[in-house]
């Protein structure tokens, strides 16, 4: 299919996301095609490693096809649930893939782009990388295993990334455990050439460099203090009293959906205690299912993506209006509709 291209050359199975005008955002057909090829390559002796990258010069992938999800949510549909179930199954497949799985996380790597890269065995960033989970900004939560990854970042850095919905640099991604290797973007063609005759580890030994210092790591002291609080309200109180950078961060968080903030914090804390990625994906699917039927998610997409007025009308409006029963409803058991029961 044109939206994603597949090529096997010199033992490398290459997956290229090919929607550059849409920042290589993922749709359902792309997810199914990638899964099909990974399953086939698993037992193919002619494929010794897999590599995923994105067409164009703007990045690997900016996430899922948000417009399609918006139309589904507005129409009361269920297509997004099937998309998410298959996407999450793909994320799990990548995490346990038996062959080296290299992800070129150059440029923008957001949302679903993190899902098809940061669960791989060899995750490569550059000086151009901007990695993020921006879902709270559209009334959603980090998914595709995002709460698994962020809950395991050092200290409270993952909580900071999730609640601000901001992006981080390549060095930040390495520090937070979302990436492994730093390769200058100008050396990527050389790396690809080396992969034709060397193992992934040997090729990376040639071209990976020590990552520059992580700016996020330098802010860890105030971040860890502020975000260690048990509630979003207390986090904001600490941020407002934490100095200029912290106070500015508080304002960023205050613009987000109060419901999404509370659900995200609950999801992160719970994910930290769950045993593996699959268990976290099951939790994320419950939350995604509930979010699809909420007016909050559709309103967030409308304000940020459709109308672009950047003025979402959240409801409830304030954190104090988001009661625990509403948060609990996002985590309710789905019975026969759990993620691994949804038809492929």
Distance between CA 270 and CA 170 in Å, rounded? 27
Query: Based on the number of CB atoms within 10 Å of its own CB, is 223 exposed (0-12), middle (13-18) or buried (19 or more)?
Result: buried
Q: Which residues is 61 bridged to in the sheet?
A: 109
112 counts as catalytic: yes
Q: Let me know if 59 is a catalytic residue.
A: no
**CA 253: distance to chain centroid?**
18
Between CA 119 and CA 172 the distance in angstroms is 16
C-beta of residue 10 within 8 angstroms of C-beta of residue 196: yes
**Nearest residue to 101 via CA among 29, 221, 14:** 14
Residue 300 and residue 305: Cα distance in Å, rounded?
8
- Structure token digits, residue 12: 């490398």
**DSSP labels for 233-286?**
HHHHHHHHTS-HHHHHHHHHHHTS-HHHHHHHHHHHHHHHHSSSHHHHHHHHHH
Cα–Cα dist 237/296, whole Å: 24
Measured distance CA(264)–CA(91) in Å, rounded: 19
The residue annotated as part of the active site, out of 65, 86, 135, 278, is: 135
Question: Are 174 and 215 within 8 A, CB to CB?
Answer: no
* Cα(285)–Cα(105) distance, integer angstroms: 25
Q: Is 242 a catalytic residue?
A: no
Tell me if residue 36 is catalytic: no
Burial class (CB in 10 A: 0-12, 13-18, 19+), 197: exposed
Count CB neighbours of 21 within 10 A.
9
Among 72, 106, 143, 296, the active-site one is: 143
Given 13, 54, 112, 139, the catalytic residue:
112
Residue ranges of E strands in the chain? 4-9, 12-17, 49-54, 59-61, 101-105, 108-110, 122-125, 130-132, 167-169, 181-182
Catalytic residues: 64, 112, 135, 143
């Amino acid at each position: 299919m044109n939206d994603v291209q597949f090529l096997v050359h010199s033992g490398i199975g290459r997956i290229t996301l090919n929607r550059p005008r849409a920042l290589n955002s993922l749709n359902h057909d792309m997810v199914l095609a990638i899964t099909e090829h990974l399953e086939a390559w698993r037992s193919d002796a002619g494929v010794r490693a897999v590599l995923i990258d994105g067409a164009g010069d703007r990045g690997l992938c900016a996430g899922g096809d948000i417009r399609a999800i918006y139309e589904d949510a507005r129409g009361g549909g269920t297509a997004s649930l099937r998309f998410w179930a298959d996407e999450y199954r793909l994320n799990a497949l990548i995490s346990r893939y038996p062959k080296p799985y290299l992800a070129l996380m150059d440029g923008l790597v957001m949302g679903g782009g993190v899902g098809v890269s940061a669960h791989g065995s060899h995750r490569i960033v550059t000086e151009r990388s901007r990695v993020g989970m921006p879902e709270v900004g559209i009334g959603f939560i980090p998914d595709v295993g995002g709460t698994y990854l962020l809950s395991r970042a050092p200290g409270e850095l993952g909580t900071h990334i999730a609640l601000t919905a901001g992006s981080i640099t390549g060095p930040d991604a390495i520090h937070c455990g979302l990436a492994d290797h730093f390769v200058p973007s100008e050396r990527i063609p050389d790396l690809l050439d080396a992969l034709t005759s060397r193992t992934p580890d040997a090729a990376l030994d040639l071209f990976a460099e020590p990552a520059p210092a992580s700016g996020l790591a330098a802010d860890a002291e105030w971040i860890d203090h502020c975000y260690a609080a048990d509630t979003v309200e207390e986090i904001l109180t600490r941020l407002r009293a934490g100095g200029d950078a912290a106070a500015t961060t508080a304002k960023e968080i205050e613009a987000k959906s109060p419901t999404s903030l509370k659900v995200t914090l609950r999801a992160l804390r719970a994910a930290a205690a769950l045993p593996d990625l699959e268990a976290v994906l099951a939790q994320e699917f419950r939350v995604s299912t509930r979010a699809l039927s909420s007016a909050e998610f559709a309103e967030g997409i409308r304000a940020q993506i459709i109308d672009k007025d950047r003025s979402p009308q959240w409801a409830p409006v304030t954190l104090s209006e988001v009661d625990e029963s509403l948060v609990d409803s996002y985590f309710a058991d789905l019975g026969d509709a759990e993620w691994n029961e949804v038809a492929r």
